[in-house]
Amino acid sequence: MSTARKLTMAAAISEAIGQAIERDPDVFVMGEDIGKYGGIFGATGGLFAKYGRDRIMDTPISETAFIGAAIGAAAEGMRPIVELMFVDFFGVCMDMIYNHLAKNTYMSGGNVRLPVVLMTAIGGGYNDAAQHSQCLYSTFAHMPGLKVVVPSNAYDAKGLMNQAIRDDNPVIYMFHKGIMGLPWMAYFEGSTTEVPEDNYTIPFGQAKVVRAGSDVTIVTLSQMVHKSLLAAQKLAQSGIDAEVLDLRTLVPLDRAAVLQSVRKTGRLLVADEDYLSFGMSAEISALVAENLDSVRLKAPVKRLAVPDVPIPYSRPLEQFVIPQVDAIVRACSDLIKAGKPEAVVA
């Protein structure tokens, strides 16, 4: 069943959605510019022409209404997939997301099911400034009631989207613009992968070792996986063997995989494109700290993330705040140095 067919992440997501529409009459898609345009980031490319406006519904710029409508339709047993263009825009309808979508199942004592997939674009690196460049996955992972999926490549993107559509809970599905394979943005080739035509799923909460190594663990996700792999190549040249762990989902979080890897390497770097404080990097670090009875660290944990500033527009400023490959290399090298006893000078 293996095929040599390679898809971009955008095409893989669109294929998963198209197949779901064909298999299940309760699945439909709503969002801004997802129809004729095919989604600003291509996640619904080609679907409008194939399935028409009853299944692929362009919405007004009325997020409270259409996210809320997804909640209402899902409560009736339908399975809406909704795109809200940039995660930065979620603020305009946050009430529907964090007071309703995330909480109604709980407040109903489990009696209300909300199988909604809410997909959105994250990430910077192309100078679109502070209102179009955030990641914010930690913000949504912080709120109970939302599953948070953040794929790094086309194969995972399709399998995770299939899983998201089948899940009976709200899933926020976040794709980084810089790995979608868009014709108007430089991207990481590694995100375009072989993608089977069948309807495979990838279970949530299973991190993946994308590069095995013995000296240091880099825990990361999304576009930062690709930067970490490039960093690992560079580190290998100086004899440092880095293991790269792609979390793939933040909620649920594969805690066991993180601990297993750090037990093996004894060193942890968390590489994150979200804000530093109170975020994913803190969560992973705390996880290791809470398990120091069974994890022997050879060096203190390190974190690389956006240093608690909004993403600036100007290129030198943006490049400075978003962690780059060289910063990952430096951080890992520092971890190795920190683990070695200082030379004693007589």
Partner 1 sequence: MSASQEHMLWMYEKMIEIRLYEETMAKVYLEGKLPPAIQKGLAFDIGSGPVPGEMHLAAGQEPVAVGVCAHLRTEDTVVGAHRPHHFAIAKGVPLKAMTAEMFGKETGLGHGKGGHMHLFDPAHKFSCSGIVGASMPPACGAALAAKKRGKDWVAVAFFGEGAANQGAFHESLNLASLWHLPVVFVCEDNKYAISVEKTDSTSVSSDADRAAAYGMPGVRVGRNDALSVYEAAAAAVDRARRGQGPSLIEVKTDRYLGHFQGDAEAYRPKGEVEELRKHDPIPHLGEHLRKLGLLDDAMDQALRSRVESRVAEAYDYARTSPYPKPEDALHHVFH
Backbone angles phi, psi at 131, to 5 degrees: -100, 5
Dihedral sign computed on CA atoms, order 296, 299, 301, 302: negative
Q: Identify the residue among 108, 319, 337, 338 touching partner 1 (CB under 8 A).
A: 319
Residue 36, interface with partner 1 (CB under 8 A)? yes
**Residue 254 touches partner 1, criterion: CB under 8 A:** no
The least CB distance from residue 69 to partner 1, in Å, is 13
- Residue 180, token pair as written in the block: 């979608």
Q: What are 12's two structure tokens?
A: 């893989």
- Contacts (Cβ under 8 Å, ≥6 apart) of 297: 262, 266, 267, 268, 288
Closest distance of CB 31 from partner 1, Å = 10
Does 312 participate in binding partner 1 (rule CB under 8 A)?
A: yes
Site string for partner 1, 123-142 (x = CB under 8 A): --xxxxxxxx----------
| Contact (Cβ atoms closer than 8 angstroms) between residue 218 and residue 228 | yes
Q: Indicate the residue among 64 and 108 with the shorter CB distance to partner 1.
A: 64
313 binds partner 1 (CB under 8 A): yes
How far apart are alpha carbons 254 and 247 in whole angstroms? Answer: 7
Closest distance of CB 66 from partner 1, Å: 10
Nearer to partner 1 by Cβ, of 182 and 229: the residue is: 182
User: Least CB distance from residue 130 to partner 1, whole Å?
Assistant: 7
Q: Is 227 within 8 Å of 323 (Cβ atoms)?
A: yes
The piece of 5-13, 62-70, 208-216, 330-338 that touches partner 1 (CB under 8 A) is 62-70
Q: Binding residue for partner 1 (CB under 8 A) from 52, 72, 203, 310?
A: 310
CB of 120 within 8 A of CB of 259? no
User: Would you name the residues annotated as active-site residues?
Assistant: 63, 132
Nearer to partner 1, 75 or 92 (CB): 92
**Is 62 one of the binding residues for partner 1 (CB under 8 A)?**
yes
Count Cβ atoms within 10 A of the Cβ of residue 199 and give its class: 0-12 exposed, 13-18 middle, 19 or more buried.
middle
Nearest distance, CB of residue 166 and partner 1, angstroms: 29
Q: What stretches of 184-267 adopt beta strand conformation (E)?
A: 193-194, 208-211, 216-220, 242-246, 249-251
The residue ranges that bind partner 1 (CB under 8 A) are: 32-33, 35-37, 40, 58-65, 88-89, 91-92, 125-132, 183-186, 307-310, 312-321
